[in-house]
Amino acid sequence: MSYLVLARKYRPQTFEQVVKQEHVTRTLANAISSDRVAHAILFSGPRGTGKTTVARILAKAMNCKEGPTPTPCNECRSCKEITAGSASDVFEIDGASNNGVDQIRELRENVRYMPAHSPHKIYIIDEVHMLSIAAFNALLKTLEEPPAHVMFLFATTEPHKIPITILSRCQRHDLRRISIESVAEHMAFLCSQEGIEIARESLDLIAREADGSMRDALSLLDQVMSCTEGSITQAQALDILGIIDRKILFDISASIFQGDIPDILDIFDTIYDHGHNIKELYSDLIEHFRNLLVVKMGKKLDKLVDVPAHEIRLMADQVRDVSEIHLSQLLDILFKEESFIRLSSQPKLALEMAFIRMFQTKPVLPIDALIEKLDLLKKGMGEHPANVHPPEPVAPTEIRRPATGYSKEPPTPVKTRDRESGPAPQKPESERDTHDETDPEIPLDRPAPLKPESEKDAVAGQREPEVPPEMPFNPSDSPDKIWEKLLSVVMEKYPLLGVTLKKGTLKSLTEQRLEIEISGNGFNVNRIGKNEALLKQICHDFFRKEMEVLIKVGEMQSNDREQRKNERERVRQEALAHDMTRAAVEIFGGRVVEVKILR
Ligand SMILES: [Zn+2]
């Protein structure tokens, strides 16, 4: 019995017969026609894509009686010998088992002798990346200046492992992975030649399993053919190959989109009972959902989605009413759960959990739908001008409140006017009195907008020449910033005092007066009190003038906090009751999770 496996029986014997590598075969044919064939050629590409086959055809083309010709006759002695693998002038060397320097030295010796009866002596080295470095080095010299009658044809799946010195001396041709569709098509052709009936679906399945390798696909086809007689059904193919029907993937995705989780669990059960590998199923599912997403995006499908055309149509049907965002959400979950399933001792359980999570993921609204709804909301508000008014008190209150919460500026308008009307060099006493009394009430209704400017101007007019350029702060800075600067100066010179001072807060800062509130225990207040003179001196040095330093104990604090709390609650309630909030809740069918009061 001499059964010849399909891969050998149908090995391409001419460049035209090579499947889907036209970019290489055409270049080689052209090179042969114009007599520009390189003496060292490297074929790289995934396994089973035709590297050695192309090398053999090239050898034939060079040594054919008719040649060199792009279409070897396959009739002459040389062609026949090469087809049979017994050519005396074509040496096929397996790089993996002949990787030592000795073998290469031997080869170098042989290179010098003329071919027996062909024009060229051709060395085909398969898996050339397996050669040792010493072997590569031994080869280098010969590659550089080979005798005219010698050709080297290398094949490799891993060109990056080949030294650059070798690569640079070779002409390189990269063979591509063959698409599932092309592999299946080629197999369909072979089956028709062999008179075997097999569903295209099954061929797709085999091609997918072979992952772009024609040789693997033909071996699998051999396997299926040897196990059955006559026509081959899809069920037989699935059974023999021990793989999961692709239809199941579609069933699973359909159930997810329809929200039918019991159905999915049922499918998993069946798969599990059949003894299929759950982890393999999971990686198929990731690929399946990735393909669904790409199909939904709808660009370059033939290039990006390596599935048969009828499956692409099926996918397009499935995702028609599913949003792109929802698909990427699902894919996201699949990726996140991947390691759990891979490492789990109970992969089926982990798989079920992942899908329950996917099922629970509610599709988010796409951004354009959101914008549409916002437009609707805006329009709705515009139509009812009465509704627009209420928000105004809310927002400004929110903004105003914190700005005046610390009365960094002298709080009463009276004082301001006083200062503006005259230079007021000796105001401190009166200021202190009014301030202490009015402080808690004033901030909320007195925004005190442009005052700092007018103050600055007035002072600048008087004191401009006195302000030395090396002032430790910028007078136009905010009081908070100046306070920070002052703190850093104190920290540097008097760390202990600085630490205590840091526990306080700046209550107000004017041209003549600095008011600090010290909160916390009496110890802090005491320490500051003891160092009052020192603090005054520091301030004098810092501000370059006499400053009144007023230290307040945080006695009003709890009262103050209560008041702020009440105010926040009032703003919160106002925001919740606001028409805009209500309309938004209604339109989006949501609920208010949190009210954030912005500064
Ligand atoms: Zn020939």
Taking the centre of ligand 1 as the mean of its atom positions, its distance from the CA of residue 325, in whole angstroms, is: 59
The better pLDDT of the pair 445, 332 is held by: 332
Q: How many residues does the chain have?
A: 599
Q: Return the structure tokens found at 128.
A: 């050339």
Cα–ligand 1 centroid distance for 222 (angstroms): 30
The 10s digit of each residue's pLDDT in 522-532 is 667 777 777 88
Ligand 1 center to residue 14 CA distance, Å? Answer: 11
- Provide the pLDDT for residue 56: 94
Ramachandran region of residue 212, left (φ > 0), alpha (ψ -120 to 50) or beta? left
**Residue 123 Cα to ligand 1 middle (Å):** 18
Report CA-CA distances (Å) from 349 to 250, 332, 365: 21, 19, 31
| Residue 6 CB partners (closer than 8 Å, separation 6+) | 190, 194, 218, 219, 221, 222
Q: How many CA atoms lie within 13 A of 26 on its CB side?
A: 5
The predicted pLDDT at position 534 comes to 85
Residue reference for tokens 């905010």: 478
Q: What local confidence, expressed as pLDDT, does residue 465 receive?
A: 47
**Is the pLDDT confidence value at 555 over 70?**
no
| R_g of the chain, CA atoms, integer Å | 42
Average confidence score pLDDT of the chain: 79
Residue 181, CA atoms < 13 Å, CB-side half-sphere: 13
71 alpha carbon – ligand 1 mean position (Å): 9
Alpha carbons within 13 angstroms on the beta-carbon side of residue 436 total 12
Say yes or no to pLDDT of 228 above 50: yes
Q: What does the pLDDT look like over 424-465, one tens digit per residue?
A: 444 444 444 444 444 443 333 444 444 444 444 444 444 444
- Listed range (115-129, 333-347, 496-510) with the worst mean pLDDT: 496-510
Comparing CA positions, the residue from 55, 57, 119 lying closest to residue 89 is 119
Most confident listed range (182-191, 219-228, 453-462, 557-566): 182-191
Mean pLDDT of 74-91: 91
Same fold, 180-241 and 398-458+473-560: no
**Separation of CA 70 and ligand 1 centre (Å):** 11
Whole-number pLDDT of residue 164: 92
- Contacts with 588 (C-beta within 8 Å, 6 or more apart), sequence order: 373
DSSP secondary structure string for all residues of 13-26: -SGGGSTT-HHHHH
Is the model's pLDDT at 560 over the cut of 60? yes
| Contact of 124 with 93, CB cutoff 8 Å | yes
Q: Residue 496 above 60 pLDDT?
A: yes
Q: Answer whether residue 406 shows pLDDT above 80.
A: no
Task: Give residues with Cβ within 8 angstroms of 259, minimum separation 6.
Answer: 359
- pLDDT of 289 reads 93
**6-174 is classed CATH 3.40.50.300:** yes
Return the pLDDT at 224: 87
Helix axes 557-577, 579-588, angle to 10 degrees: 50
Count CB neighbours of 147 within 10 A: 12
pLDDT 10s digits, 264-295: 888 888 888 888 888 888 988 999 999 999 99
Tens digit of pLDDT for each residue in 530-547? 788 888 888 888 888 888
Which of 119-128, 208-217, 245-254, 359-368 comes out lowest in average pLDDT?
359-368
Percentage helix, strand, coil, to 5, in the chain? 60, 10, 30
Cα 118 to ligand 1 centre (Å): 11
**Percent of the chain at pLDDT above 70?**
81
Q: Residue 272: its pLDDT value, please?
A: 86
Top-confidence residue, 362 or 56: 56
Structural fold of domain 180-241? Helicase, Ruva Protein; domain 3 (1.10.8)
Q: How far is the CA of 474 from the centre of ligand 1 (A)?
A: 93
On whether the CB atoms of residues 232 and 198 are closer than 8 A, the answer is yes
Which has the closest alpha carbon to 564: 592, 519, 594, 597?
597
CA of 87 to the centre of ligand 1 (A): 12
Return the pLDDT at 478: 83
Residue 27 has pLDDT above 70, yes or no: yes
Q: Who contacts 176 (Cβ-Cβ below 8 Å, separation ≥6)?
A: 20, 21, 23, 45, 49
Q: What gap in Å lies between CA 143 and CA 165, rounded to an integer?
A: 10
C-alpha 303 to ligand 1 mean position (Å): 38
What fold is seen in the domain 246-360? Answer: Zinc Finger, Delta Prime; domain 3 (1.20.272)
Instruction: Work out the average pLDDT over 500-527.
Output: 78
Per-position DSSP letters for 16-60, written without gaps between them: GGSTT-HHHHHHHHHHHHTT---SEEEEE-STTSSHHHHHHHHHH
* C-beta neighbour count of 541 within 10 angstroms: 13
Q: How far is the CA of 54 from the centre of ligand 1 (A)?
A: 15
Per-domain residue ranges of the chain: 6-174, 180-241, 246-360, 398-458+473-560
User: To 5 degrees, how large is the angle CA 332–CA 338–CA 344?
Assistant: 150
Residue 154 has pLDDT above 80, yes or no: yes
Q: Stretch 466-470: mean pLDDT, rounded?
A: 53
Top-confidence residue, 373 or 409: 373
Beta bridge partners of 92: 124
Q: How far apart are CA 480 and CA 567, in angstroms?
A: 23
- CB-CB neighbours of 197 under 10 Å: 10
The pTM (predicted TM-score) of the whole model is 0.55
Cα–Cα dist 270/38, whole Å: 57
Fold of 398-458+473-560: GMP Synthetase; Chain A, domain 3 (3.30.300)
